[in-house]
Amino acid sequence: MPLPRQLAAALCLLASPAMTLAATPQAADLACRFRAESNPAGLVHLHFTLVNQGLHDLQLLRWGSPFEGGWFGRFVQVRGPQGEVPFQGALRKRGDPAAGDYLLLRAGQQLQASLTLNDAYALPAQGPLELKAQWRWHDVITDGPAPRPRDRHQGWEQDCGTVRLAR
């Protein structure tokens, strides 16, 4: 009889960390996709969708992402017919974030952001473009209040994929 009791205890010990890890928010909980469209005037519009597929609400420091509302970081790499197109948007130096710098993304929620690529890149007049969207969430808070000081930030990498736009 002691053997089954020991075996049951061992199985409980093995299962407990796995269950804890499964419930812990992780970067894979954030799904991102984007699309690009061009118009006859030569403007290229980007549309980003971010989905929290996890079980927990997330507070994301939006700095340097499309969800900041402008081009304050190079979160899209652009290649045209002649190679890499240089980023011409603004880069910011920052201190500690404020609560308003965080984006609350509830479990199961999705958010969208749209930007015009021409605002940050001098695009060639014609020809195909390859666009790769990726950035770092400089701080992701899975529990507790925002903001927190920079020395306590815990970031996640975000890959939003690659789009090829024929123009």
**What is the residue whose two structure tokens read 């900041």?**
68
**pLDDT value for 22:** 47
**Closest to 128 in 3D by CA, of 162, 77, 81:** 81
pTM of this structure: 0.84
Q: Give the pLDDT score at 25.
A: 84
Q: Please name each of the domains of the chain with its CATH number.
A: 29-165 (2.60.40.2970)
Would you call 25 helix, strand, or coil by DSSP?
coil
Q: What does the alpha-carbon distance between residue 22 and residue 54 come to, in Å, rounded to a whole number? A: 10
Q: pLDDT at position 9, please?
A: 44
pLDDT of residue 10: 43
Name the nearest CA neighbour of 103 among 112, 94, 95: 112
Please give the helix or strand (H or E) that residue 3 lies within, else none: helix 2-23
Look at residue 2 in the predicted model and tell me its pLDDT: 52
Low-confidence ranges of the chain (pLDDT < 50): 1, 3, 7-22
Rounded Cα gap, residues 18 and 27, in angstroms: 17
DSSP sequence for 28-75: GGEEEEEEEEE-TTS-EEEEEEEEE-SSS-EEEE-TTSGGGSS-SS--
Distances (CA, A) of 59 to 56, 137, 138, 152: 10, 10, 11, 14
Q: What is the C-alpha R_g of the chain?
A: 21
